[in-house]
Amino acid sequence: MTLARELKIGEIDQRLYASFIEHLGRAVYGGIFEPGHPCADEDGFRTDVIELVKELKVPVVRYPGGNFVSGYNWEDGVGPIESRPKRLDLAWGTTEPNTFGTNEFMKWCRKADTDCMMAVNLGTRGAEEARNLVEYMNHPGGSAWSDLRIAHGFSNPWNVKLWCLGNEMDGRWQMGAKTAVEYGRLANEASKLMKWTDGSIETVLCGSSSRNSPTFGEWEAQSLDIAYDNIDYVSLHQYYENRSGDTMSFLAKTLEMDEFIHSVLCVCDYIKAKKRSKKTVHLSFDEWNVWYHSDHVPYERWSMAPPRLEDIYYFEDALLVGAMLITLLRHCDRIKIACLAQLVNVIAPIFTETGGGVFKQTIFYPFAHVSHFGRGVALQPILECPRYDCKEFTDVPYIESIATLDEETDSLTVFAVNKSPDETAQLSVNLLDFTGYTPTAFTSMDGYAKDAVNGFDASPVVPHTNPLPTMDGSVMTALLKPFSWNVIQLKKKI
Ligand code: AHR
């Protein structure tokens, strides 16, 4: 493998390591918010969870949905708690108590060292309610909505910069689902009014709910054609599963993810060309993860915060999550935002027991590694390696890798997944113009059964430290174990 500064893909926007909290299951209630819990602070926020969120270094958290937002009245979640209504949430068949809302979330963000990516309801509501929320949150004062925020005890505006124009509006499961033209027109008008209210915000147009959506491609083209001038990003959502137990196909899903990203970029640039526009629309991959383990878990309809989507992640899921992070970095010139969906309990790296403890899922670690060390610019290595065929794909490289260079700290990091179930790979890296760089740490996750999991009682699936890779002139050699996630850190010697 060869690494050189000229192989730069682009600057890494730190929002690539964003995540997501939805009013769904125990993400909010029993997750980030649990008054009365021994670890709860004066606001009812679980400090044990906040510590882990900080450990993940998540710069932005999308909120409050997801499907939930398409029926949400944001006004229900602000003001005196005693007068907030309980509502039936038709997205998830539960009852929303509204004891946690916009201001609580913003307070939580401040404590968790993160920022908010706010979604507005374009399912059952429209441009007016959306722009009212921008005024409530971002206008300093002297207007009805901003004065209401002040009356609610928040004299300073929250200054939320990133706004999602609804959620998965193409999906038949979505409250207020729309055709691409209906949505394009609504999103365009909503974004226009929201930006007239606060000219400093950026907005995200909903792309298809996944690459498998029947209208994929056409949806992006039609809605973008209408809203291009008033929006900044197009969203992508994708979850992968391994229901059939075919791990080699599962680990190859990043080929499909690459194709997905490429296709959406082609549509964005087609509309740019058609409009002869100078503006480039970038991507917000605002839902991605593995999701399937919790399929068919029953819950009590209309109950409050029942356990939903509580996937317990296998070791092999951590490998795919690592490979998905590499894929996002490979496109960091055009993907500016990406949200691991979600953050706590609901398909999440952090898992709590209501009233009890917390543990780190297997997928916590690759995310934390990339979010800590994947800073600066991404470099695309030139990599030759053996390939395999499997049921769903052909010509899949066994090794997936990317490097990041942080010029401020003179740190170079190589991330790599070895997808081979039985072969150790010898990774030789020619560090062409990185004179003076030497390895300082080599961390990996390997040696676990594919279905090994972490839990409250035992968390065996953790990274471990390896002997440092060897150097011979400018060539660094590291051994990547079968089924492994690897992080090699190098620093310039002073
Ligand atoms: O993240 C869970 C759900 O997946 C979200 O609510 C929705 O946007 C997607 O379908």
pLDDT digits (tens, 9 = 90+) for 74-129: 999 999 999 999 999 999 999 999 999 999 999 999 999 999 999 999 999 999 99
For the record, the structure tokens of 75 come out as 């006004």
DSSP H helical ranges for 57-101: none
Residue nearest to atom 4 of ligand 1 (CA): 66
User: What's the average model confidence in pLDDT over 302-328?
Assistant: 98
Measured between alpha carbons, how far is 66 from 21 in angstroms, rounded to an integer? 9
- Number of the ligand 1 atom closest to the C-alpha atom of 209: 10
Q: What is the pLDDT of residue 299?
A: 96
Label residue 492 by pLDDT band (50, 70, 90). Answer: very high
User: What's the average model confidence in pLDDT over 146-155?
Assistant: 98
308 to each of 23, 70, 364, how far by Cα in Å?
A: 11, 18, 19
Measured between alpha carbons, how far is 24 from 307 in angstroms, rounded to an integer? 9
Counting ligand 1 atoms within 8 A of each CB, the residue from 72, 89, 168, 290 with the most, and so the one to mutate, is: 168
Q: What is the pLDDT of residue 77?
A: 98
**Is the pLDDT reported for residue 340 higher than 80?**
yes
Label residue 493 by pLDDT band (50, 70, 90). Answer: confident
With contact defined as beta carbons under 8 Å apart, do 50 and 73 qualify? no
Label residue 432 by pLDDT band (50, 70, 90). Answer: confident
> Residue 127 Cα, ligand 1 centroid: separation in angstroms?
22
Q: What is the pLDDT of residue 308?
A: 97
Q: Angle, to 10 degrees, between the axis of helix 180-197 and the axis of helix 218-227? A: 40
- Number of the ligand 1 atom closest to the C-alpha atom of 167: 8
The ligand 1 site (C-beta within 6 Å) comprises 22, 65-67, 167-168, 209, 287, 341-342
Counting ligand 1 atoms within 8 A of each CB, the residue from 237, 241, 309 with the most, and so the one to mutate, is: 237
Residue nearest to atom 6 of ligand 1 (CA): 66
With contact defined as beta carbons under 8 Å apart, do 452 and 21 qualify? no
> Residue 309 Cα, ligand 1 centroid: separation in angstroms?
10
Q: Report the chain's mean pLDDT, rounded to a whole number.
A: 97
278 to each of 229, 269, 281, 440, how far by Cα in Å?
A: 10, 11, 10, 44
Name the DSSP letter for residue 83.
Answer: G
User: What's the average model confidence in pLDDT over 27-50?
Assistant: 98
Q: What is the pLDDT of residue 450?
A: 98
- Number of the ligand 1 atom closest to the C-alpha atom of 91: 6
> Residue 273 Cα, ligand 1 centroid: separation in angstroms?
32
Label residue 494 by pLDDT band (50, 70, 90). Answer: confident
Q: Which residues are catalytic, by number?
A: 168, 287
Residue nearest to atom 3 of ligand 1 (CA): 66
Helices (H) and strands (E) in the chain, counts: 10, 24
> Residue 134 Cα, ligand 1 centroid: separation in angstroms?
23
Q: What number of CA atoms fall less than 13 Å from residue 293's CA on the CB side?
A: 16
Q: What is the pLDDT of residue 214?
A: 95
Which of 442, 441, 428, 425 lies closest to 480, judged by CA?
425
Q: E strands of 323-372, at which residues?
A: 335-340, 350-352, 358-360
With contact defined as beta carbons under 8 Å apart, do 201 and 163 qualify? yes
User: What's the average model confidence in pLDDT over 235-261?
Assistant: 98
> Residue 67 Cα, ligand 1 centroid: separation in angstroms?
6
Measured between alpha carbons, how far is 193 from 222 in angstroms, rounded to an integer? 21
User: What's the average model confidence in pLDDT over 228-250?
Assistant: 98
Q: What is the pLDDT of residue 433?
A: 86
Residue nearest to atom 2 of ligand 1 (CA): 66
List all residues 6 or more positions away from 283 whose beta carbon is below 8 Å from its beta carbon: 233, 234, 235, 236, 261, 264, 265, 268, 331, 334, 335, 336, 337
> Residue 365 Cα, ligand 1 centroid: separation in angstroms?
23
